[in-house]
Structure 1
């Protein structure tokens, strides 16, 4: 009996040894982030999802992240990029990031204003004079402070990727002063701040899905819209609009976000590789956005289908003066210190 008991205990010990060995060699996937204490590059799969097409700065930046991360990790880290809402859409990507079902997303900041009013910064009128000024703000202390406010959700803000400054088109008249907008109906991305801006200018606003905007302009559902040069040119809005005003009054900017638990679960070596991918992706996305908008403006001029007017400094000041009540109200909501920092860039 004692002999049988010894044989049984010996067999049990062997089984436990093999089980532990198998567990130790298991590969973690889907950005689980476990094992941060281990040495060497962790073998993980990272998902990056966004809602726009492949021919955009956002997608090119995401592909750069994939290229750098996979190369620097010698293929130990796999990166999967999902464009065109093919994994998650606008309505559910943030919740899935919180759940770590995806490790990086790139939402329009206007989609984050419900999480924190600081993400209204791109919609603040005439706050930034250039892409470089906007980049400097989000890279700086106050921009990073806004990103940090998402940590309560288990989300970490990594960087701002720009689409660029917005300009206005319409089918009624050249816009040169605030009064020219009186009675018009303008399509916007939506949100209380943009609605307030156009109400102050005497115009109505409507939130129409971007994919339906060409038809809405063509049919006169709205008189005009605001967008970046690249969006205006690529969607051929100049075919159904007579006038374009170069204003740069508001912006479209994206936030590169990751899951906090995923990020904290990376060991130092793995984290350094992923951070390098983020840095290189950010650099390319910013360069691509500027080039795309410059090229789009040149094409719009060559097309000759829309009359293009650029506001002078004096005309911009007139718009700023008219919008001063909006500016003061929203500076209180966002934070005067944040607005002052943005103005200093």
Structure 2
């Protein structure tokens, strides 16, 4: 029996060595490579979608609608698990988490994307968009395509743009009507050099506070004021801890819907097409819904709060635009001349 055992051991060792160099004798079958794209998925595919706002905001509702449509269009092959309110990753962490594949999908604000891809600060330029039509043209046109291309080197893929709305100014220390009214006040900002420069032009100070900590920041006096959309001011109840609001529409808050590039590249083409179709349908609905929500919630704020609201006049807007105009040349090298030029074209087209 001993020679037989030795022969078996020798054969097994020989096969292991052959496998290590990729050679298989004729009587041994080589490993079978399974192509998921050809065979299909036997199990449900789960996409984790993390975001930082409440479920009843434009982005929160869009994420839920997207999850519903993906389930429908993929015939239950793909499930999108939505994690709102920063429960999975907060603002400072979500983009890094996506880049490193810790989460499959996020929808950060343009400002948070710009920390990794500075050209995205083009969306933070003051008065870049003078109407909702201008915003949609930027999303769907060359500006949107150019910004998508700049994500790929960071292992991210841009799939859609979701709007929240135009930003308004709020404060606890007095009405914000003229640029001089900002002097000496401290404003909460997103982590954007452009937004920081905007307040610096008004002789104001800034502090970066994560979105879910803003209410406490206003309440405690860490920040005197901030800029945000009506929907965020309403859903997070900022109107309870701010005394004055100027409806300025001076900036636009929106989100890039992003997926980890490695993950996206390994999805079968048929699922990519279905996910894109779900996003296109969601985006049309979401961007219309955001406009309606901001209008409705402004009326709610008027009715249920004591915050003093000032509507910016055309002459006041011209005053603000003139004071903020130097930011465009200041950031042309960082953002890129081509993108700045396209923003200037939109301004002319829509009444700048």
- Which TM bucket (shorter chain)? 0.7 to 0.9
In the superposition, the TM-score normalised over structure 1's length comes to: 0.84
Q: CA deviation at 1:329?
A: 0.7
Q: CA deviation at 1:293?
A: 1.1
| Aligned position for 1:229 | 230
Cα separation, 1, equivalents of 2:62 and 2:278: 9
Q: CA deviation at 1:13?
A: 10
Give 5+ residue unaligned stretches, structure 1: 25-33
CA 1:108–1:293 in structure 2 vs 1: closer, same or farther (change >3 Å)? Answer: same
Q: CA deviation at 1:42?
A: 8.0
| Aligned position for 2:245 | 244
Secondary structure of the corresponding residue to residue 81 of structure 1: strand
CA 1:213–1:86 in structure 2 vs 1: closer, same or farther (change >3 Å)? Answer: closer
Alignment of 1:27-42 (within 5 A): 35-36=36-37, 38=38
Quick check: 1:42–1:77 contact (8 Å CA) kept in 2?
A: no
CA 1:285–1:13 in structure 2 vs 1: closer, same or farther (change >3 Å)? Answer: farther
Quick check: 1:40–1:269 contact (8 Å CA) kept in 2?
A: no
| Aligned position for 1:127 | 128
In the superposition, the TM-score normalised over structure 2's length comes to: 0.82
Say whether residues 1:69 and 2:70 are aligned partners. Answer: yes
Cα separation, 2, equivalents of 1:212 and 1:91: 12
| Aligned position for 1:260 | 261
| Aligned position for 1:28 | none
| Aligned position for 2:3 | none
| Aligned position for 2:98 | 97
Give 5+ residue unaligned stretches, structure 2: 1-6, 12-24, 347-352
Alignment of 1:104-123 (within 5 A): 104-123=105-124
| Aligned position for 1:158 | 159
Cα separation, 1, equivalents of 2:264 and 2:85: 25
Cα separation, 2, equivalents of 1:335 and 1:318: 26
Q: CA deviation at 1:208?
A: 2.8
Quick check: 1:174–1:244 contact (8 Å CA) kept in 2?
A: yes
CA 1:288–1:152 in structure 2 vs 1: closer, same or farther (change >3 Å)? Answer: same
Quick check: 2:53–2:59 contact (8 Å CA) kept in 1?
A: yes
